[in-house]
Structure 1
Amino acid sequence: MDVEKVFRMTGGDGVTSYAKNSSFQKKASDMVKHITTETIQELFVTTTPNSIGIADLGCSSGPNTLTIIKDIVKAVERTSSTLMLHQPPEFRVYLNDLPTNDFNSIFKTLPEFYRELRKEKSGVCPSIFIGGYAGSFYGRLFPNNCLHFVYSSYSLHWLSRVPPALYDEQGRSINKGHVYISESSPPQVSQAYYKQFQEDFMLFLGSRSEELIVGGRMVLILLGRRGPDHVDRGNSFFWELLSRSFANLISKGELEVEKLDTYDVHFYAPSKIEIEDEVRKEGSFELDRLEMFEIERDEKDEESYGAAVARTVRAIQESMISDHFGPSILDNLFEIYGRMVDEEMAKEEIKPLTFVIVLRKV
């Protein structure tokens, strides 16, 4: 499967769209917003550019993208005012995602974005130039030294491809019955995923090193795991429940086992040590900050946690699952999945871990 051609968050603003089902991601970005704004303020103080280049890598669609851009713009303007500069900088904002991303839904909201900024600034809108850049961030996207700040939220745990070492000569996965690393997976499975992560993350860092100015910063938010064990009751467990949901459809005769045995997700949850190792080996960046956190479940939510998780995962995985299995299984699959999440949560909490990383180009 060609990930670059198929993978995308569900576009539009329908019931299963990413725009309507990305509240978990919004909570995460809000929890570390102070880190994001502090980082770009520190950058601005040390560089004071007249024109500042900002890239959001893996921007997807929906309201989250322009919300963080607004926060960044306001943080820089506050700093510019504190420094009593003659005028604030102009902002060059590059929104990046894969070519199949629903960029149009972002562009349609730009007039309202500018109106809100003008309203907050008594009719004066900052000079902000926003454009879409389609392509994989596992490789070069921008000219040399054109960026000051890179932001990426909930994107870097997605690999450039499903690790090819997972498949035999007939194209069947060695990870039978599972879509990700599980307790019963052969050791080669976790090794294949780790190798692909190393290759991809090294390429990401090297590409950004060319595009960022010296002293440029990156704030990266991604899913991860606590220690060396790949299987835990965190991010990997959500994939285990998806595997069980597929198995449930197979037991009912609604899905062929062969289809599951040729499907794996292009996901990897790295550990803190694995991230640090790749940053050190690549050598272009200093690791200024690396923190882990959990997103607490909102007990006030009227719907079940499982239903919310199921809609979120569907908004992310719908394109891949539809391409491989066909769209007809989606409703049943995620109804089962949501129920399984609730059943497991009643036994014991599932605690997915998120990292926030701040890197500085040296």
Structure 2
Amino acid sequence: MVMSTNLKQVFRMNEGTDEGSYAKTSYIQKEVLSLTKPIREKAIREFYYREQPTTLCIADLGCSSVELSNLSPVFGLLESVENARRQLGKGPQEYQIYLNDLPGNDFNTIFRSLGSFGDKLKQEMGDDFGHCFTNGAPGSFHERLFPFNHMHFIHSSYGLHWLSQVPKGIEDNKRNIHIAKTRPPHVVKAYTEQFERDFWKFLRYRSEEVVAGGKMVLTLAARKSREPYSKESCYIWDILATALNDMVDEGFIEEDKLSTFNSPMYAPSEAELNHLVEKEGSFNLDQVHISEVSWKPNEQYKNSYDNPLDHNDVAKCMRAVVEYLLISHFGEAIIEEVFLRFKEIIRVSMAKENSVFVNLTISLTKNC
């Protein structure tokens, strides 16, 4: 199994800003942020109109290694509050921003962008913009992160479908790396129960940190189907499993190595999330939104890159997310071969059909 007890140390996105980095390849995450922008900005405006705190405390959980002026949603949140502040005729506002990810995250890339981010704030927000204080908050969001009754708004995009560990008891999920159709029956139960434990803990810890009436907007990779092994939630992992299995058959990878690798990810359904929010009981569910993002980048994101995007970019995006997981289990020597094969299978698949990633966004308010 993928070092389930050590996942916090080995799991991170590809660092830096080069062509293989998460910052440069995550066009899917950019599209998701664009689609969900109205939801999070509506939520933070509602809170600000009602409470108008002296210092507005905002956290982005699972921020990854991106430049603040690029993939981060923070600017849009501040812009939304600034518009509301001016409508209310209020003076300059102070902000406290917390950027959270696991300790191995490339926070240096984020911190190096603070200068240009500050310049952008001054240039676009106007002369009456107040002060924005930014901090890194390394740690797992499956644990406590902030002081009691401290946070006003929490955002997370494409983080909460990652589990705190690979589910236990799935040692016989041999040559599968996820919830495949060929998995033993109890594998679905193990993944589902691990997600339920993790999401319940997430809600409970945030309930201790978020003020009464505070807001959270959370976006996860999800599924519309009732079945956890549906194609919409597992297909990308099935393709990676095919590449790895072919390498076992050809002697590149030991079979035992593949048989002990499973992904720490679960894509829930809307019904599952609704049930867990209601069961934990600390937050009211304000809004639920399901969106889809095609594997094929749209024209907006094609034009934002120096080179036209094609099927290679699904492989690049996936590689930026899972490369360190694969290296920690299989070693670095197989990586180039794995993704050469992965890219080819993606090419064939995308020539036949237009696959999509399904996303689920929920807006929550802390109970008073």
Q: Which one-letter code corresponds to 1:313 in the other structure?
A: M
Whole-Å separation in 2 of the counterparts to 1:304 and 1:329: 25
Instruction: Give the match for residue 88 of structure 2.
Output: 83
Q: Greater CA deviation, 121-130 or 90-99?
A: 121-130
Whole-Å separation in 1 of the counterparts to 2:309 and 2:343: 8
SS at match of 2:24: coil
Alignment partner of 1:338 is 2:343: yes
Note if contact 1:181-1:236 (Cα within 8 Å) is conserved in structure 2.
yes
From the superposition, tell whether residues 185 and 110 of structure 1 become closer, same or farther in structure 2 (CA, over 3 Å). same
Alignment partner of 1:323 is 2:328: yes
Q: Give runs of aligned pairs for residues 209-248 of structure 1, distance below 5 A.
A: 209-248=207-246
SS at match of 2:83: helix
Alignment equivalent of 2:96, drawn from 68, 76, 92? 92
Q: Greater CA deviation, 344-353 or 74-83?
A: 344-353
Instruction: Give the match for residue 202 of structure 2.
Output: 204
Q: Which one-letter code corresponds to 1:178 in the other structure?
A: N
The Cα of 1:345 is off from its aligned counterpart by: 2.1
Instruction: Give the match for residue 117 of structure 2.
Output: 113
Q: Which one-letter code corresponds to 1:22 in the other structure?
A: S
Alignment partner of 1:23 is 2:27: yes
The Cα of 1:346 is off from its aligned counterpart by: 2.1
Instruction: Give the match for residue 160 of structure 2.
Output: 156
Whole-Å separation in 2 of the counterparts to 1:62 and 1:55: 15
Alignment equivalent of 1:141, drawn from 138, 141, 145? 145
Whole-Å separation in 1 of the counterparts to 2:348 and 2:16: 31
Q: Greater CA deviation, 25-34 or 249-258?
A: 249-258
- Unmatched segments (≥5 aa) in structure 2: none
Q: Which one-letter code corresponds to 2:297 in the other structure?
A: D
Q: Greater CA deviation, 195-204 or 21-30?
A: 21-30
Note if contact 2:297-2:309 (Cα within 8 Å) is conserved in structure 1.
no
SS at match of 2:364: strand
Deviation sequence 1:135-191 (CA, Å, 0-9, x none) = 10001110011100000010000000000121xxxxxx2111111001111111010
Q: Give runs of aligned pairs for residues 1-362 of structure 1, distance below 5 A.
A: 1=3, 2-63=6-67, 67-85=72-90, 87-122=91-126, 125-166=129-170, 173-296=171-294, 297-298=296-297, 300=299, 301=302, 305-362=310-367
Whole-Å separation in 2 of the counterparts to 1:195 and 1:67: 31
Identity of aligned residues (%): 37
Whole-Å separation in 1 of the counterparts to 2:23 and 2:67: 6
The Cα of 1:125 is off from its aligned counterpart by: 4.7
Q: Greater CA deviation, 192-201 or 253-262?
A: 253-262
Whole-Å separation in 2 of the counterparts to 1:10 and 1:125: 34
Q: Which one-letter code corresponds to 1:161 in the other structure?
A: Q
TM-score (ref. length: structure 2): 0.93
Q: Greater CA deviation, 306-315 or 153-162?
A: 306-315
SS at match of 1:80: helix
SS at match of 1:130: strand
Whole-Å separation in 2 of the counterparts to 1:304 and 1:89: 40
The Cα of 1:126 is off from its aligned counterpart by: 2.8
Whole-Å separation in 2 of the counterparts to 1:331 and 1:76: 45
Whole-Å separation in 2 of the counterparts to 1:212 and 1:94: 13
Whole-Å separation in 2 of the counterparts to 1:220 and 1:183: 28
Q: Which one-letter code corresponds to 1:182 in the other structure?
A: A
Instruction: Give the match for residue 169 of structure 1.
Output: none
- Name the Cα RMSD after superposition: 1.5
SS at match of 1:114: helix
- Unmatched segments (≥5 aa) in structure 1: 167-172
The Cα of 1:331 is off from its aligned counterpart by: 1.1
Note if contact 2:290-2:361 (Cα within 8 Å) is conserved in structure 1.
yes
Deviation sequence 1:233-285 (CA, Å, 0-9, x none) = 22301000000010121122111111100100100000111101110110001
Whole-Å separation in 2 of the counterparts to 1:66 and 1:337: 26
Deviation sequence 1:188-243 (CA, Å, 0-9, x none) = 10100000000000000000000000010001011011121122222301000000
The count of residues paired between Structure 1 and Structure 2 equals 355
